[in-house]
């Protein structure tokens, strides 16, 4: 065991030196996903590592296994298989449906498995409609029924966890059902950017003068329907934004359907070039708001039904009264309750629901270190001390810096106004709303400060 612990220390040092310091891995990702791993044993070329919970296990397995294998190879000189276990013993893949990964289906390709995963169909029929999402849902149905004939482009926006991705998959599902030979590409802005970077790097490295950009362009420009999730991630990436602009224009003028999702409307994408923002605003903008009480109860009951569990009405109402802003959290609590039933034989009750809610909220909170780093950066750029920004002092300079910090925290973390207020001594959410509004006006009026704010946001988005 001591031998493996020493090896693990060397692996961590290697990752920090070769990846973090060379900007191949952000320091936040390193602390959140790598340092939480604990060495268990090294047997028969298999490194057994553990993490506290199943969520961490799933994320690390899906995103960092190759990095870990490469690091072990550099330290030991042999290929090492990585096996990760969770201390809570829960296997998420066995207790919850798995959202499909971004895919690119060709005309006529069998897609039945794509549409149904673990008994949960990402279709319009499984989407719970309420006043907060009725307009967006209707727009998506219209687009899926008549691609390119109604709203093009369609731009869906709203906070994380409100069902935007579900609607994208529903459009995919409905179009494939009606028109099986349609070529649909579902992707997200980050994947689009990564593929572009990979093609550019291959062009530089390939001395045979093969053009790797052309296949990339052909892949996206040959689509009949382009569904792109989290479009806000093109912000601050000039090459990605440039290629996206030309891809959009090509598809739009060819009469192809385009649908985007974002966590904010185009007008709030401060550093986005005007021509791209204009393209987003050419079609229909549809926002999705947090669900009302009745919709939240309906979502909880529907999710419980899909998992074949019976949650009493009073428990559903208890959950709906405590989680008000995020559908993903509601679904997460139901899954937690299901896990308690399967692994601990605990029947749904208010106490069980309360414990599940605590776990979901704890796992959803952004890292406090990120918030501190944002405040520190605002402090450095605007020359106002960290303590003054966090204080209740009300001089004009300090108040402005505090409001800028609130605005950037909202941009980077997506944290609710109430939670941001809590980070600043329990300020009311209306204070945060007022602060964000003031900073938006400041950005419009003061170019110098707008550039500074944009640069801070860029620096955190690129980590």
Token pair for 137:
């849902």
pTM of the predicted structure, to 2 decimals: 0.55
User: What's the full length of the chain, in residues?
Assistant: 463
The full DSSP string for 389-408 is HHS----HHHHHHHHHHHHH
- By the 10 Å C-beta count (0-12 exposed, 13-18 middle, 19+ buried), 218 is classed as exposed
Contact predicate 272/241, CB 8 Å: yes
Contact predicate 407/439, CB 8 Å: yes
DSSP state of 96: S
Token pair for 397:
């300079």
Instruction: Map out the domains of the chain with their CATH numbers.
Output: 2-89 (3.30.300.180), 104-287 (3.40.50.300), 293-364 (1.10.8.60), 368-461 (1.10.1750.10)
Residues 324-359: tens digit of each pLDDT: 877 888 888 898 888 888 777 888 888 888 888 877
Residue 104 reports pLDDT greater than 50: no
Residues 36-92: tens digit of each pLDDT: 899 998 888 889 999 888 878 888 888 889 899 988 888 777 788 999 988 766 555
Going by C-beta distance under 8 Å and a sequence separation of 6 or more, which residues neighbour residue 452?
381, 382
- Give the pLDDT of residue 163: 87
Which helix (H) or strand (E) segment is 105 a member of? Answer: strand 104-105
Whole-angstrom distance, CA of residue 238 vs CA of residue 34 = 30
Going by C-beta distance under 8 Å and a sequence separation of 6 or more, which residues neighbour residue 119?
97, 306
Contact predicate 246/215, CB 8 Å: no
Give the pLDDT band (50/70/90) at residue 94: very low
Residues 422-451: tens digit of each pLDDT: 889 888 888 888 899 899 889 988 988 988
Q: Comparing C-alpha atoms, which of 318, 315, 419, 295 is closest to residue 368?
A: 419
Whole-angstrom distance, CA of residue 455 vs CA of residue 245 = 22
Q: Comparing C-alpha atoms, which of 62, 81, 73 is closest to residue 15?
A: 73
- Can you name the residues that pair with 185 across neighbouring β-strands? 104, 226
Going by C-beta distance under 8 Å and a sequence separation of 6 or more, which residues neighbour residue 165?
99, 229, 261
Whole-angstrom distance, CA of residue 74 vs CA of residue 10 = 10
Token pair for 48:
């057994």
């Amino acid at each position: 065991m001591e031998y493996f612990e020493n090896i693990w220390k060397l692996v961590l040092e290697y990752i920090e030196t070769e990846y973090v310091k060379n900007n191949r891995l952000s320091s936040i990702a390193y602390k959140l996903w790598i340092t939480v791993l604990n060495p268990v044993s090294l047997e028969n070329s298999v490194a057994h590592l553990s993490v506290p919970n199943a969520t961490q296990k799933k994320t690390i397995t899906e995103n960092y296994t190759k990095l870990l294998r490469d690091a072990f190879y550099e330290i030991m000189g042999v290929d090492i298989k990585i096996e990760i276990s969770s201390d809570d013993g829960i296997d998420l893949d066995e207790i919850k449906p798995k959202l499909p990964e971004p895919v690119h289906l060709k005309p006529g390709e069998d897609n039945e498995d794509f549409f149904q995963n673990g008994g949960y169909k990402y279709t319009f029929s499984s989407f719970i409609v309420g006043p907060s999402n009725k307009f967006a849902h209707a727009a998506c149905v219209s687009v899926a029924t008549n691609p390119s004939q109604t709203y093009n482009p369609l731009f869906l926006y709203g906070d994380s966890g409100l069902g935007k991705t579900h609607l994208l998959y529903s459009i995919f599902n409905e179009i494939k059902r009606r028109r099986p030979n349609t070529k649909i590409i579902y992707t997200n802005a980050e994947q689009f950017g990564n593929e572009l970077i990979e093609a550019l790097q291959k062009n530089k490295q390939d001395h045979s003068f093969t053009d790797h950009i052309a296949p990339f362009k052909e892949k996206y420009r040959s689509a009949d329907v382009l569904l792109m999730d989290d479009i806000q991630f093109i912000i601050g990436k000039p090459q990605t934004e440039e290629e996206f602009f030309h891809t959009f224009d090509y598809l739009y003028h060819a009469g192809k359907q385009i649908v985007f999702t974002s966590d904010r409307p185009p007008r709030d994408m401060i550093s986005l070039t005007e021509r791209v923002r204009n393209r987003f605003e050419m079609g229909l903008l549809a926002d999705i708001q947090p669900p009302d009480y009745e919709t939240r109860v309906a979502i909880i009951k529907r999710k419980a039904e899909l998992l074949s569990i019976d949650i009493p009405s009073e428990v559903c109402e208890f959950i709906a009264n405590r989680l008000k802003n995020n559908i993903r959290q509601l679904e997460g609590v139901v899954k937690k309750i299901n896990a308690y039933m399967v692994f601990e034989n605990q029947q749904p009750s208010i106490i069980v629901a309360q414990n599940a809610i605590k776990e979901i909220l704890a796992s959803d909170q952004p890292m406090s270190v990120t918030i501190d780093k944002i405040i520190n950066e605002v402090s450095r750029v605007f020359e106002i001390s960290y303590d003054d920004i966090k204080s209740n002092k009300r001089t004009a300079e300090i108040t402005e810096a505090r409001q800028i910090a609130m605005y950037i925290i909202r941009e980077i973390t997506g944290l609710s106004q109430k939670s941001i207020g809590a980070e600043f001594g329990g300020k009311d959410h209306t204070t945060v709303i007022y602060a964000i509004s003031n900073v938006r006006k400041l950005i419009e009026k003061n170019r110098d400060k707008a550039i500074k704010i944009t640069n801070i946001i860029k620096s955190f988005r690129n980590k």
